[in-house]
Amino acid sequence: MISIIGIFIVLGAIAGGYLMEHGKLLVLVQPAELIIIAGAAIGTVVVANPLPTLMRLVKAMIGVVTGGAYNKAVYLDNLKMIYELFSYARKAGTAKLEEDVDHPEKSPVLSKYPKFLKSHHALQFFCDTLRMAVSGGVDPMDIDQMMEVDLEVHHRESSEPVTALTTMADSLPGLGIVAAVLGVVITMGSLGGPKEEIGHRVAAALVGTFLGILLCYGVFGPLAQAMGKQTEAEGHYFGFLRMAALGFIKGLSPMMAVELARRSIPTTVRPTFQDMEAVCRGGGKAASKAA
């Protein structure tokens, strides 16, 4: 939501300054120029990227609008889940844990956290790692290396929509020039006609250049940066799951494992130890306060 507010600030400042100079907003309303620029920009994205990347791009842009998904309350909820799962594994045994990670939707612990179950890649990453740990015969360093490879692959895939939107944003000034040139061509064909018509067509051509530059540096460029920050936040979250799994693999106690995971959380959204302890052992009161 904060990104949308920022875009409105950009557009409001430009429109406000333009009106202060006694400009007419209707002159900037040039649907044909906008269709040329926006249509060509969308076309370049479709040409350059496969369908899965385009689908992730749409989801990522929706994520920018709805806001960050990895806040303090989410981390507290996950810490509570991990603590309960590891405590359950210590009491029931690794054989029972293997059943839970094979069928997480039927797990008495994981089934209580539907948001985590809906995060398919995070669920697979976490459960596959624990499955390797409980199967036995695999060195903890080898499992850690597997997790690192998995995270590298996921990071590359998550970066593709950001790269696609950045490329589109970089193309907008050039497409604005294309729209302006087309406007000039139309203007040249109108020479000899009324001066008002020629002036209108020249203004429309200049609006094409204006829109291309504005959309690049004022809208889609910042949106691409916001998507990049969301990708980083998701990477931090997967690193958090990695540390939790690594603590379990090394045989740490449930509280020590979640503390290891807590230390990997970025400081801006990291819960305090007291918050974590209250959530894990006190029924989740701290999580409700953080939310």
Mean pLDDT by runs of 10 across the 291 residues of the chain is: 86 91 85 92 94 91 81 93 92 83 90 91 91 80 90 91 94 92 83 74 87 93 92 93 92 92 94 92 51 40
> Distances in Å between the alpha carbon of 131 and those of 26, 101, 110, 237, 248?
63, 6, 14, 20, 12
| Rounded Cα gap, residues 162 and 276, in angstroms | 33
Examine residue 70 and state whether it is found in any structural domain, yes or no: no
Please indicate, yes or no, if residue 129 is contained in any of the structural domains. yes
In a domain, 255, yes or no: yes
| Closest of 226, 249, 246, 250 to residue 238, by C-alpha | 246
| Residue where the block lists tokens 């690193």 | 239
The answer on 215 and 239 residing in a single domain is: no
Q: What is the pLDDT of residue 189?
A: 77
Residues 269, 217 within the same domain: no
Whether residues 236 and 205 share a domain: the answer is no
Are 220 and 237 within one domain?
no
52 with 104, same domain: the answer is: no
Same domain? 130 vs 99 = yes
What's the total number of domains in the chain?
Answer: 2
**Position 72 in a domain:** no
Task: Give the pLDDT confidence score for residue 289 in this predicted structure.
Answer: 45
| 64 in a structural domain | no
Residue 158's contacts (CB-CB under 8 Å, 6 or more residues apart) are: 56, 231, 234, 235
Answer yes or no: do 165 and 209 share one domain: yes
One domain for residues 253 and 272: yes
d(CA 132, CA 117): 19
Do 6 and 128 belong together in one domain? no
What pLDDT was estimated at residue 9?
93
User: Which residue from 253, 57, 43 is spatially nearest to 165, judged by alpha carbons?
Assistant: 57
**Sign, Cα dihedral of 127, 128, 130, 134:** positive
| 218 and 241 fall within a common domain | no
Boundary of a domain, candidates 207, 224, 241: 224
Q: 188, 207, 224 — which closes off a domain?
A: 224
Predicted local distance difference test score (pLDDT) of residue 286:
44
Does some domain include residue 184?
Answer: yes
Is 147 inside any structural domain? no
Last residue of a domain, one of 224, 250, 276: 224
Whether residue 86 lies inside any domain: the answer is: yes
**Residue 267 structural domain:** 78-139+232-290
DSSP H stretches of helix in the chain: 2-20, 25-28, 31-48, 51-66, 72-92, 94-102, 114-118, 120-135, 140-189, 195-214, 221-249, 254-263, 273-281, 285-290
